[in-house]
Structures are given as structure tokens and as C-alpha cells.
Amino acid sequence: MIPGLATAPDIQDEVRAAARNRRLALGLTQAELAERSGVPLGTLKRFERIGELSFASLLAIAEALDALDGFSGLFPLPEARTLDEVERRAVLPKRARGRKKS
């Protein structure tokens, strides 16, 4: 992997490896982490092997490993470059309601 040019599969593999390494560093077995997180053991094993997991399960595992902090900054707003952009962001749009069917 070229630094700064990570792809989604690269990051998926990094997260998989980091979670496994943290589990091992904390002295937890897969079974213990599965029990702590509420994620089925087979699901945890698959995640550690190939990196596939639902987002909800990933959050549960991160919480059990005391590693939730990294998720809070996952989707930061881009920096405003003009005063107009700052003013627009002061009132972010809400999701539009769907039309009622007649």
C-alpha cells in the first residue's frame, strides 16, 4: 500500500488486523470478546479472518475493546473556505419529508 493512497479494502484489512491485535494485547480469547461484545463467535472469527462485519457489530467489538473514540471523527465536515460556507453550515439542512400519498 502506498502511503496516503489507501483503498477501502486496505483500510478494511487494517481495521481487521488492528482489532485482532488489540484483542490479543488485552489477553482476550475470541470467545471472551464475543461474549463481552454480544457478537456471535462465528461472526467474530470471520471478521478476524476476512474483515467482513456489520457496522453495528464493529461498534460492539470496538466498545468491548475500549476503542470507540476513533469513530466520532469518522465523517468530519469539510473546512469552510468562505464566509458564505460558514453561514450555510450554521443551519444544516434537515431531511426533507416525503410526500403524502393521496
Boundaries of every domain in the chain:
8-71
The alpha-helical segments, DSSP class H, found in 1-102 are 8-25, 30-37, 41-50, 55-64, 83-90
pLDDT digits (tens, 9 = 90+) for 50-77: 999 999 999 999 999 999 998 988 888 8
More confident residue, 2 or 9: 9
What is the DSSP-derived secondary structure letter of residue 77?
P
Looking at residue 21, what DSSP letter applies?
H
Q: What is the DSSP letter of 98?
A: P
Fold (topology level) of 8-71: 434 Repressor (Amino-terminal Domain) (1.10.260)
Q: How many whole angstroms separate alpha carbon 45 and alpha carbon 34?
A: 9
pLDDT digits (tens, 9 = 90+) for 7-58: 999 999 999 999 999 999 999 999 999 999 999 999 999 999 999 999 999 9
**pLDDT value at residue 28:** 98
